[in-house]
Structure 1
């Protein structure tokens, strides 16, 4: 019979136990910072969500309802920006896991 352990894991323990490739995939594929939700990194998620929202809002403001949103160049720029943000967050998520694991192995 196992006993109940009321001690919850720390942020670093959760991050070290997370799979880096899953966090990378979740940050790149949807591109919305969902890898941060997997890693339980709330601040990083909200920063990414805000940046995504700002990028989408700026695209909407620049199109100003004049049909520019259907312009393939504008769509490409929007997609390129969201993809770049996804790649940056994926790289950062991998570095965070690596950093925590290295710090844990040095203790």
Structure 2
């Protein structure tokens, strides 16, 4: 018996679970569910860079925290989670369509 390949594992995963996991906790948890390690590490690196940039900017700002900086940080993380959630859902659809097409031929 052959172990399932990467595409089959991705095709049988629930796309909505990956989308929800990328939105709710954010930071690419849906990629862990899909076993897409490269996408997870890229997302983690981007989120970490966003946190570091926010910390550096707040250290250079005045003693009080600026609400605009907080809003910018939140919007950046929301944008990251939205993009990763959309990409995770589309990837499942793309792999399923490819496997369906190859099985009909």
Normalization by structure 2: what TM-score? 0.90
Segments of 5+ residues of structure 2 without an aligned counterpart are none
Deviations 1:6-64 (A, max 9, x none): x3211101100111110000001111100000000000000000000000000011111
Q: Aligned to 1:15, which of 10, 13, 20?
A: 10
Kindly report structure 1 stretches of 4+ aligned residues shifted beyond 6 Å: none
Segments of 5+ residues of structure 1 without an aligned counterpart are none
Normalization by structure 1: what TM-score? 0.89
Over aligned residues, Cα RMSD in angstroms? 1.2
Q: Which residue of 1 aligns with 2:70?
A: 75
Q: Which residue of 2 aligns with 1:85?
A: 80
Aligned residues: 101
